[in-house]
Structure 1
């Protein structure tokens, strides 16, 4: 049998780079290995410009505006040839960050010419690899979250919120513990999920992205030894905050502690879990017939049963959310621990960030497509309500309790009387009306309950949708 590993172009091992590539492709610009190298080049360029602009090293000239622009253009133009060149250098150095340093020195020679020697020594000056990596990952994760994941997630939440508002008046039988319970509206139940999801997005929008630039063990040891008169913490802080737009962490070991990453991944995972809850609920509503799935002609629901339209978008989303959370959870738990001043587990672990976000993004895409293919079926919900008049036992006994507390005679043991009527058996509207007439209720209360039906007993559910404060995505 021919080896598929030898087929060209290369076949993707994972589903994200194969079957689902189109849904997750935007993340490649932020969380791929090539994106990591591009960010490393970016950080090294900005560090060189920062050091020369600040006049940190006596006797070293500043880069001209044209030279700075040319160096920044190296980052902008970073592509296939640069990726290949870096790979060639890394085969010699067997060190990815050192390869970036040598790659950038070549570019500096081209840009600056014979004057590059002194400037070239300021590339990676005072840095440990983790200075470059932690700043790069902070920029990468921020870009992936703010430019790709959050916009997709916000669009999905707004889609759910719009459905909630449209369906706010549609009465629906609730099910608690799988049993018929106090009616609600379909829109109110969707509003609950939209509200929960939006809360996580608000948390994520306030995320801090911490970074350090302080040398081999976070002490500025090499910096201070080489140039003891420089205020290195201030130089570092200005670089991290003003040049990169990140939050400076002054107290670290060789690595930035990654606590902010753990916090972020926990919030994304929580969003995923709420979305998983939405998918399982909508799947159940489809099973009950409360939603009909709308398909174009010619699409296949089942390979053998022509009548079926399977809720595959929601099932696909569930699976991808579970894979995403497995990765996010291990990232959050592992990255906060580093042996003494440094070990390398975080380096391998962080290479899975893109996969974790990819499966979440794919799930968001599937959920959105699934929701877009649904039509509510009020008639089915109404039939369910009409078959469960016993749910009106709750408001009747509650009214009797209130009347009894006010001293109205004959209102004793309301819960027990309604339990005897409703528990373990079905009743219809006539049964309930006969029972209500025999309770001795005040005439206005009796009239109210004789008019009440399971369809009308939705409390304030439609009005509660107004509390949903989900703004349209920008």
Structure 2
């Protein structure tokens, strides 16, 4: 075979993405870039360093370093708000020399102090800090922003879609299937409400997440702080600074903040993902039996060879992305709670994948939302299925017989066994079921209740249960 010469795609400009989140699906996950990308992490590092410098001077912690003017503080904060592509490139150039990302941030800020008129405070940048003091806070700020401003609003909007569908279809009768077999009927709205309720519980847990942070030195002892400025209340300085960032102060750490809060958050997100995955597989199955119909998209192709098909691709895509997201979330939750002695760097590599885990979950949420928008409910299909399964009334009849026996009505012996003989392995139509009921010798009221019963109205208070949705 002749040797093939190909253009090296890695050299194509603009750059071609290796992963789908930065390529094919970029539009769906782009909002996360401002919180969980490498550039966002560096901007948040700059933010933490700048705020630490302002905090130290405003607290007059170091003798001779009085409060900055409002203009000086504003100029420092402008380093963060003006952080752009040029800043990203400059940081990369500095890091190429330092071979240390946080040290590069320190030098990046130091370069700008002269223009603000505070070059004499250059030695205060990164004062008393180990790299992890900056990193843990930058990650906390980034993850908090990603959850509260991007992921959680998208997830809540999706759950509200489920809730709206539950309310709309609260009274649409539907055959249940336990173990895949016809079972006591329900309503479509009630089943959608179950999904909604489950997802909402996880979102409530996620909304209550504590984002912990620490700034206490190389091994969490404030040793350098108290040695250099013994008069300061460094715990109070640390706590007020971290709480000022909108985080929760962790008073007891090694060199790293222990990341337990991250593990808790990712476990909750993974549980949300799993419940949503369960919803996707159920909806896919309901589509396959006609309980949901998919509204075709004008001009779209369902199958490359079978023109009649409209494939449930949104839900299948979501399943795959939820599984990938959970693979990463589970790994992060398991890995981040462990650190050898006072510090190892496994967390550093692991945390660089947080954005990928969030991205696949956000992409799945987007796909499910689009999939739900293209569903309709053919109530006649659901009704026809119910009418083919009169045997599901066997539960109701035998329970009424039990109640009648307790009330002293004769002839109600062995209700379960008699209904099993009638219904198991047999299709029972309306006429045969009514004939059976009429021959039982029930009290007048009990017989009337059962004769009025159909598979379509034997669903208890299913519709009313939808009212439990908040």
Shorter-chain-normalised TM-score: which range? over 0.9
| From 7, 13, 17, the counterpart of 2:18 | 13
Q: Deviations over 1:232-288 (max 9, x none)?
A: 1111011111x2111000100000000000000000000000100110111011001
Report the secondary structure of 1:182's partner residue: strand
Query: By how many angstroms is 1:62 displaced?
Result: 2.0
Q: Deviations over 1:53-86 (max 9, x none)?
A: 1111111232111010011011001000000000
Q: Deviations over 1:331-377 (max 9, x none)?
A: 00000000000000000000000000000000000000000000001
Q: Deviations over 1:22-59 (max 9, x none)?
A: 00000000000000000000000000000011111111
Report the secondary structure of 2:304's partner residue: coil
| 1:141 alignment partner in structure 2 | 143
Inter-partner Cα distance in structure 2 for 1:231 and 1:212: 15
| 1:329 alignment partner in structure 2 | 330
CA contact (8 A) 2:404 2:443 kept: no
Q: Following superposition, which runs of at least 4 residues in structure 1 exceed 4 angstroms of deviation?
A: none
Inter-partner Cα distance in structure 2 for 1:449 and 1:421: 16
| 2:197 alignment partner in structure 1 | 195
Inter-partner Cα distance in structure 1 for 2:235 and 2:172: 61
Inter-partner Cα distance in structure 2 for 1:10 and 1:315: 29
Tell whether 2:237 aligns with 1:235: yes
Report the number of matched residues: 465
| 1:344 alignment partner in structure 2 | 345
Report the secondary structure of 2:416's partner residue: helix
Report the secondary structure of 2:72's partner residue: helix
Q: Deviations over 1:157-186 (max 9, x none)?
A: 001000000001110000000000000000
| 1:466 alignment partner in structure 2 | 467
Query: By how many angstroms is 1:7 displaced?
Result: 1.0
For residues 250-289 of structure 1, what are the structure 2 equivalents within 5 Å?
Answer: 250-289=251-290
Report the secondary structure of 1:121's partner residue: helix
| 1:116 alignment partner in structure 2 | 119
| 1:210 alignment partner in structure 2 | 212
Inter-partner Cα distance in structure 2 for 1:312 and 1:303: 13
CA contact (8 A) 2:174 2:386 kept: yes
Query: By how many angstroms is 1:466 displaced?
Result: 0.6
Unmatched 5+ stretches in structure 1: 470-474
Inter-partner Cα distance in structure 1 for 2:452 and 2:409: 22
Q: Deviations over 1:398-435 (max 9, x none)?
A: 11111112222111110000000000111100111111
Inter-partner Cα distance in structure 2 for 1:85 and 1:296: 46
Query: By how many angstroms is 1:109 displaced?
Result: 1.6
Report the secondary structure of 1:19's partner residue: coil
Query: By how many angstroms is 1:297 displaced?
Result: 2.4
| From 69, 85, 90, the counterpart of 1:85 | 90
For residues 16-27 of structure 1, what are the structure 2 equivalents within 5 Å?
Answer: 16-27=21-32
